[in-house]
Amino acid sequence: MRLVRERFTRYGINALAKKTVLAIGIEPSFVDLSAFPGLTPDLVRNFIEAQIEILRTLGYDAESCLIDPGETAEAVTVAALKARHLDCVVIGAGLREPPERLLLFEKIINLVLIHVPHVRICFNTTPADTAEAVQRWVRP
């Protein structure tokens, strides 16, 4: 076992470490919430933070990466993807909808594939089901 652990550590992989998750989504202040009465950017942000905490409670090492829909989105995403080893990347529903975000969605997916080709990719349907999306693909 010692030899196996040494080999994993030598290559930057800790076999005993928690599974790592990065949740990439649009910063809620940039989202048009007019179709969802009662939702505010702060409420959406709270849902996101709560899901990250749930993932941590379940045994994951989870972080979020909230991006703007403009000029810095790619650079911020690349920095987060390169910051550490990742086992899973969650793509938020706000990146897939509305249709005007299709190009940004494609760019983010391709950045994930370029920078962490081994990673599992999953999708949430709302800010409140991120943990379920991760659990479909990666166990803590």
Neighbours of 22 (CB within 10 A): 23
Tell me whether residue 9 is in a domain.
Answer: no
- Is 129 part of any domain? yes
The number of domains in the chain is 1
Q: State the Cα–Cα distance between residues 74 and 95, nearest whole angstrom.
A: 13
Residue 5 lies in a domain: no
Residue at 4 is within a domain: no
With respect to residue 3, please indicate whether it lies within any of the assigned structural domains: no
Which pLDDT does position 52 carry in this prediction?
97
- What pLDDT is recorded for position 2? 46
Cα(85)–Cα(20) distance, rounded to whole angstroms?
Answer: 7
Residue 81: CATH number of its domain: 3.40.50
Residue 67 CA to residue 37 CA, distance in Å, equals 23
140 residues of the chain, pLDDT tens digit each: 444 444 444 445 555 689 999 999 999 999 888 888 888 999 999 999 999 999 999 999 999 999 999 999 999 999 999 999 999 999 998 898 888 999 999 999 999 999 999 999 999 998 889 999 999 999 98
- Residue 6 in any domain: the answer is no
Range of the domain at 55: 16-137
The answer to whether residue 1 sits within a structural domain is no
Query: Domain for residue 65, yes or no?
Result: yes
